[in-house]
Amino acid sequence: MQCARAWRPLSPLLSTRIYQTAWNRSQSSPAAGRLNLSGIYPPIATPFTTKEDVDYQKLKENLQKYARIPFKGLVVQGSNGEYPYLTEEERVEVVRMVRQSLPGEKLLMAGSGCESTRATVELTGRMAAAGADAVLVVTPCFYRGKMDSRALIHHFTKVADSSPVPVVLYSVPANTGLELPLDTVLELSHHPNILGLKDSGGDITRIGLIVHKTKTQDFQVLAGSAGFLMAAYCLGAVGGVCALANVLGQELCELERLCLSGSWEEARLLQQRLIEPNAAVTRKLGVPALKQAMEWFGFHGGACRSPLQRLTEAETQQLKQDFTTNGWL
Amino acid sequence: MQCARAWRPLSPLLSTRIYQTAWNRSQSSPAAGRLNLSGIYPPIATPFTTKEDVDYQKLKENLQKYARIPFKGLVVQGSNGEYPYLTEEERVEVVRMVRQSLPGEKLLMAGSGCESTRATVELTGRMAAAGADAVLVVTPCFYRGKMDSRALIHHFTKVADSSPVPVVLYSVPANTGLELPLDTVLELSHHPNILGLKDSGGDITRIGLIVHKTKTQDFQVLAGSAGFLMAAYCLGAVGGVCALANVLGQELCELERLCLSGSWEEARLLQQRLIEPNAAVTRKLGVPALKQAMEWFGFHGGACRSPLQRLTEAETQQLKQDFTTNGWL
Amino acid sequence: MQCARAWRPLSPLLSTRIYQTAWNRSQSSPAAGRLNLSGIYPPIATPFTTKEDVDYQKLKENLQKYARIPFKGLVVQGSNGEYPYLTEEERVEVVRMVRQSLPGEKLLMAGSGCESTRATVELTGRMAAAGADAVLVVTPCFYRGKMDSRALIHHFTKVADSSPVPVVLYSVPANTGLELPLDTVLELSHHPNILGLKDSGGDITRIGLIVHKTKTQDFQVLAGSAGFLMAAYCLGAVGGVCALANVLGQELCELERLCLSGSWEEARLLQQRLIEPNAAVTRKLGVPALKQAMEWFGFHGGACRSPLQRLTEAETQQLKQDFTTNGWL
Amino acid sequence: MQCARAWRPLSPLLSTRIYQTAWNRSQSSPAAGRLNLSGIYPPIATPFTTKEDVDYQKLKENLQKYARIPFKGLVVQGSNGEYPYLTEEERVEVVRMVRQSLPGEKLLMAGSGCESTRATVELTGRMAAAGADAVLVVTPCFYRGKMDSRALIHHFTKVADSSPVPVVLYSVPANTGLELPLDTVLELSHHPNILGLKDSGGDITRIGLIVHKTKTQDFQVLAGSAGFLMAAYCLGAVGGVCALANVLGQELCELERLCLSGSWEEARLLQQRLIEPNAAVTRKLGVPALKQAMEWFGFHGGACRSPLQRLTEAETQQLKQDFTTNGWL
């Protein structure tokens, strides 16, 4: 596979052209400083065929619809993209395909986290080569009892040192059983190639504190879920990567606009109506619910890869209710 | 003890006069509807003598200082009051004493939660008789595996049915290991004598959803900690019961003012500086730290009742740092 | 005995004679050393009348039936006795009544744990005066974030120093949300008036390690549940305090006999049949299930104090099945 | 055998002969029934070079030493083998190499669990082709909120249906944050190609219950850690897969012998001395400690793959103490 062969971590043979492309797009003017992450991103779902192969055609059709929504960009291979169920080849191929379909001004943030540091370093390089403007690196977690600050600082530093594109830290305790510790985030915020944090834990106190303690580092915090998006803006976050944006993307961009323009009363009413649908497609019923809801709103969702199962009839009804009682269906 | 003898739950012999007093103060005009809880409350600490007896004199001196701060009222026998370490007699006596010292326009919310329903019903009556305008009723928790919605609805309904003063639900999972379930809160919000909820869990999504789902019930939500006070206002809470108000009460009232006047930028900066000191006196170092910090800010704190221990020297330094790095000391 | 002498009853009405009695019974020969705890104990349930008052008559009838079973003694005011729902007066009165009904050679272990050290010290003295041979002292837990080794060692040491009867530590994380730390247990095992530990956590590795590390202190470990009774014997425990002994007391004494006589094959088969019924009356369905099952086996169970609710019909069926599929009903 | 026939290797280069070989070895006489798992297995560590490549030479030398210990076989790619840090190629290659070095009568159990069902099916086939006698399939866990019985039964059934060799379920909540639910285990125990369970959770009650409820299915339970090995034998387990066997293999085989011969007193004393060293190399200090201890006992351990870090000096001292105070160093 071409790009795997092309990429060599920390090697002088590095294809300058390929990286330069990614680098240029993400930092059009080096003098202008860091990549600006502010805005709303859907962590896109991965459609599959009935045989559970990646359905690139349906993915493309989703992307065409997303193009009409004022997203800042897309996250590819976040938790909602079922990345742990894709092979490395598939992970890279999906990123490449999205890059081709995506307007140049939109950011592509690609998930490149693996359990081992060496695999993460390698996949990060491949993601950059495939067109990612930045990578989202999840905390390794299998040996969570040993993933202390020392191990995590080592891991993220190695990855950021070698990455051709900026790194965004990714803390998602619901999936990893591990919250990236505050002191680790603060320490890593000083790394020149670590740009920010996607925090899906939902502790608004923590988000406020991270913004406060990193003021001088231009460290950008993204809310990792729509449920606390307004509160996160309130405390100083610059945007959100929200599963619900796959379904109600326009509405989340509207919530962003209301927050940025100081229309807090309107923002509150909109935010409140988004909490239940958001909980339904994340914490309560997960990716199968997200994909089901996408179908209702005109996107391709479909089934997940096994072992994720389709919703039961009862779950589907519950999901529907969480959208209808809030006036979305 | 007089009032224990005097009080008879649900009894026709109930001293109408005493309750009437409490009732009148809390609902000066029945036509005007429910008691308005909005505002900031310190859940006051209980000073002890060196022999670990309640130090009423020092308590009185603290109250005189709190009188100069625009609090809506005081919470007596919240978790920070070490109520599980007081006898029932002491719990009532402290409330009576505070009522005597407190200006009439200030609300007195008294913690009256016990493990059993019958004890809670009885103590609630005594608290009202001692002058409480409302009671704060914590979730019973020892048999937490059995404290499902059915049990909790039964418990709070019985208490609210018999209480001469309005009831505020109190969910504090850090101490009880139990979060009052959302559906239970919604169900209980319909009870005419249940006025609101103090939520110390810190899940801002939950707070927003409770406000949203109880819109038609005039159900009032109070943030249970200063760390997420601004976010809670943002989502529709009406105030806060904040341990930190024992120390930085004026500042928390200022944060309230900024939120209510829509000065979100200033509010954010103030809120951010309060997160670490708040965490220090609650989650991280607890009541002994709260009492130590009170000493630094001119209040009587002193030692806790055993088994709570004084801070170690290292903990004291850590506490001091959390105040100094944020410009409070 | 030093610590007994050091203790001063808080009431002038407590007579020396009573303490002496308790002391004599529990340590008939001082030269013979410590009280021997080995054996099986039911932590007896507290029957209530339909008005939720303690039903002393029914309790007495249960005791008569228990007298025919070769228990080593009884635990009064363990978690299954609903002690957090009793007043202090009731707690003491139940112990006094049980002592009167109990044959002199049977041990009476009384739960005397409260949240504060001073309340625990006082209740411990009263329990001894009421006839307890030993007290079972649960970990205080409301401020669990602050209940570190330092606080717990302070607490238990104070209690043991002043207690007229030997103290048994009691760790029951399912209720307290707090496991008495291993190092704390080891430290406390050196106290001359701390006799052992009732461990309800179910971590057999921990039980084995405690036995191993306290070999030279003659520290006695009791399994706190029937589910791991055989494994606990296997690792060196000397007995068990098992909720299920309220229902299948004869069978648990038989399991003890099989373990002590090395009949491991038979023991295993019996133990395996007890796991499900035990889980049903403890972890799964709790005290209401224990009391329901007691009814089926000829004891008085009845309702719990509120907020504990009677089992639903579905729960009752589930409970019944856990007894029938194992051949007990 | 149906399910073996149903499976089609994903590579044309996989020869029938190899599968046949594995099949023959594991079930020499179909009439004789199922593969007998009883005995002790070290889940072998994977040595790395200083560049973090797999060090096959050192691995081979370890195997030579293990050959002198009466193990029933080896587990390759268990959690202690750092399998999440190996590429799929490396995982298979290590199994192939171990098979070549392993005496024919020793069982080789290979970990083949992946997050997705399709990846697990494929890797299972490759492991069998590489010479595994059975596969150990860990619970998928990234979407743990959705890994209910339905999903897990689907997953393991698909894998077992297609696997050319018997499947052993693997529940290791410390790493996966997910315990394979009891009802799921019981349901899966009926599958003709699912042979047993390695349970690393340490809940002895659960182990006893699984043995009890699967009596008629000849379902074999292996203790997943040395800390509760004796208790597991006591309740009916047939052996153990114990990290500590990499270090104190001879001693664990001796413990097995004592349990099987009914020498419970001696077994207890030995078991007790193994608890602390076992906790040190697993729960407390993890794989880096296991590898450090291996060095002290004459095996090749060395460093882990990053992000796992070498022990700090303080951790090394703590580890040493846990071996010395129990008389092993």
Does residue A264 sit at the B interface (CB-CB below 8 Å)? yes
- Whether residue B22 has pLDDT greater than 90: no
C contact chains, 3+ CB pairs < 8 A: B, D
Residue A4's Cα: distance from chain center in Å?
23
For residue D220, tell me if it sits in a domain.
yes
The three-state secondary structure class of D195 is strand
Q: Cα dihedral sign for D278, D282, D287, D288?
A: negative
Model confidence at D10, in pLDDT bands (50, 70, 90)?
Answer: very low
Mean of the per-residue pLDDT values for chain C?
91
For residue A66, tell me if it sits in a domain.
yes
- Whether residue B327 has pLDDT greater than 80: yes
Alpha-carbon dihedral C155, C161, C165, C166, rounded to 10 degrees:
70
Is A121 a known ligand-binding residue? no
Residue B242 has a pLDDT of 98
For residue A293, tell me if it sits in a domain.
no
User: Residue A211's closest CA among A229, A238, A171?
Assistant: A238
- Beta partners for B123? none
Q: Which residue has 């004494």 as its token pair?
A: C253
User: Residue A294's closest CA among A68, A57, A65, A86?
Assistant: A65
The 10s digit of each residue's pLDDT in D50-82 is: 999 999 999 999 999 999 999 999 999 999 999
- Whether residue A221 has pLDDT greater than 90: yes
**Beta-carbon separation of A209 and B275 below 8 A:** yes
Cα distances from D262 to residues C208, C264, D236, D266, in angstroms, run 18, 8, 13, 9
Q: Which residue has 């972890």 as its token pair?
A: C283
Relative orientation angle of helices B117-129 and B149-162, to the nearest 10 degrees? 30
For residue C202, tell me if it sits in a domain.
yes
- Whether residue D325 has pLDDT greater than 70: yes
Mean of the per-residue pLDDT values for chain A?
91
The total of other beta-carbon atoms located within 10 Å of residue A97's CB is 18
Q: How far apart are CA D249 and CA D45, in angstroms?
A: 13
* Nearest-Cα residue of chain A relative to residue B228: A205
Q: How far apart are CA A296 and CA B139, in angstroms?
A: 40
For residue D86, tell me if it sits in a domain.
yes
Residue C34 has a pLDDT of 85
User: Residue A184's closest CA among A157, A208, A202, A166?
Assistant: A157
The DSSP symbol for A217 reads G
The 10s digit of each residue's pLDDT in D238-257 is: 999 999 999 999 999 999 99
Residue B309 has a pLDDT of 98
Mean of the per-residue pLDDT values for chain D?
91
- Whether residue D25 has pLDDT greater than 80: no
Q: How far apart are CA D92 and CA D127, in angstroms?
A: 6
- Beta partners for C198? C170, C222
Residue B15 has a pLDDT of 33
Q: Which two tokens stand for residue C34?
A: 């410590």
Residue C18 has a pLDDT of 31
Instruction: Sort out which chain D residues have CB atoms less than 8 A from A175's CB and list them.
Output: 142-144
For residue C24, tell me if it sits in a domain.
no
Q: How far apart are CA D323 and CA B139, in angstroms?
A: 46
Contact between B246 and B42 under an 8 Å Cβ cutoff? The reply is: yes
User: Residue C276's closest CA among C226, C312, C316, C222?
Assistant: C226
Chain B contacts in chain A segment 268-297 (CB below 8 A) = 268, 271-273, 275-276, 278-279
Residue B67 has a pLDDT of 96
Q: Which two tokens stand for residue C129?
A: 């005066």
Which of C204, C272, C279 is the closest to D231 by Cβ?
A: C204
Buried-state track B233-249, b at ≥16 Cβ within 10 A, e below 16: bbbbbbbbbbbbbbbbb
**Beta-carbon separation of C146 and B52 below 8 A:** no
Does residue C305 sit at the B interface (CB-CB below 8 Å)? yes
For residue B308, tell me if it sits in a domain.
no
Domain containing residue C149: CATH number: 3.20.20.70
Model confidence at D218, in pLDDT bands (50, 70, 90)?
Answer: confident
- Whether residue C301 has pLDDT greater than 70: yes
Q: How far apart are CA D55 and CA D282, in angstroms?
A: 22
- Comparing B190 with D17, which gets the higher pLDDT? B190
**Beta-carbon separation of A230 and B227 below 8 A:** no
**Backbone φ and ψ of C67, nearest 5°:** -65, -25
Contact between D310 and D303 under an 8 Å Cβ cutoff? The reply is: yes
Q: Which residues contact B4 (CB under 8 A, 6 or more apart)?
A: B88, B89, B92, B126
Q: Which residue has 């209720």 as its token pair?
A: C175
Percentage with pLDDT > 70 across chain C: 90
Model confidence at C23, in pLDDT bands (50, 70, 90)?
Answer: very low
The 10s digit of each residue's pLDDT in D88-127 is: 999 999 999 999 999 999 999 999 999 999 999 999 999 9
Contact between D317 and D323 under an 8 Å Cβ cutoff? The reply is: no
Q: Quote the ipTM score.
A: 0.90
**Beta-carbon separation of D275 and C208 below 8 A:** yes
Residue C176 has a pLDDT of 96
| R_g of chain A computed on alpha carbons | 19
B contact chains, 3+ CB pairs < 8 A: A, C
Residue D147 has a pLDDT of 98
Q: B interface mutation test: which of C46, C51, C89, C115 has the most B CBs within 10 A?
A: C115
Which of C203, C209, C268 is the closest to D234 by Cβ?
A: C268
- Total beta-carbon pairs less than 8 A apart between chain A and chain B: 81
Contact between B322 and B293 under an 8 Å Cβ cutoff? The reply is: no
- Whether residue C100 has pLDDT greater than 60: yes
B73-76 and B107-111 strand pairing: parallel
Total number of domains in chain C: 1
Q: Which residues contact B181 (CB under 8 A, 6 or more apart)?
A: B148, B149, B152
Average pLDDT rounded to a whole number, residues A38-52: 98
Cα distances from B130 to residues B19, B46, B135, in angstroms, run 9, 17, 11
For residue B246, tell me if it sits in a domain.
yes
Residue D169 has a pLDDT of 98
Binding positions of B for pyruvate are 241
Q: How far apart are CA B203 and CA A68, in angstroms?
A: 33
Q: Which two tokens stand for residue A236?
A: 């100083």
Q: Which two tokens stand for residue B15?
A: 């001293």
Contact between B227 and B275 under an 8 Å Cβ cutoff? The reply is: yes
Model confidence at B218, in pLDDT bands (50, 70, 90)?
Answer: confident
User: Residue B136's closest CA among B107, B170, B163?
Assistant: B170
Q: How far apart are CA D135 and CA D111, in angstroms?
A: 6
Model confidence at C113, in pLDDT bands (50, 70, 90)?
Answer: very high
Residues B58, B72, B198, B291: which is the catalytic one? B198
Domain that holds residue B88: 33-262
- Whether residue B2 has pLDDT greater than 80: no
- Whether residue B57 has pLDDT greater than 70: yes
Model confidence at D34, in pLDDT bands (50, 70, 90)?
Answer: confident
Contact between A226 and A244 under an 8 Å Cβ cutoff? The reply is: yes
**Beta-carbon separation of A307 and D147 below 8 A:** yes
**Backbone φ and ψ of A138, nearest 5°:** -75, 155
**Beta-carbon separation of D279 and C205 below 8 A:** yes
**Beta-carbon separation of C154 and B283 below 8 A:** no
Residues B41, B66, B83, B170: which is the catalytic one? B170
Which amino acid makes up residue B154? H
- Comparing D10 with B80, which gets the higher pLDDT? B80
Q: How far apart are CA B225 and CA B201, in angstroms?
A: 8
- Whether residue A28 has pLDDT greater than 50: no
Which amino acid makes up residue C205? T
Relative orientation angle of helices C286-296 and C313-324, to the nearest 10 degrees? 60
Q: Is A170 a catalytic residue?
A: yes
Residue D28 has a pLDDT of 37
The total of other beta-carbon atoms located within 10 Å of residue D296's CB is 14
Mean of the per-residue pLDDT values for chain B?
91
Average pLDDT rounded to a whole number, residues B24-37: 56
Q: How far apart are CA B137 and CA B152, in angstroms?
A: 11
Verify C-A touch: 3 or more CB pairs within 8 A.
Answer: no
Cα distances from C256 to residues C108, C229, C249, in angstroms, run 19, 8, 11
* Nearest-Cα residue of chain C relative to residue B151: C307
The secondary structure element, H or E, covering residue A249 is helix A249-260
B239-241 and B220-223 strand pairing: parallel
Model confidence at A34, in pLDDT bands (50, 70, 90)?
Answer: confident
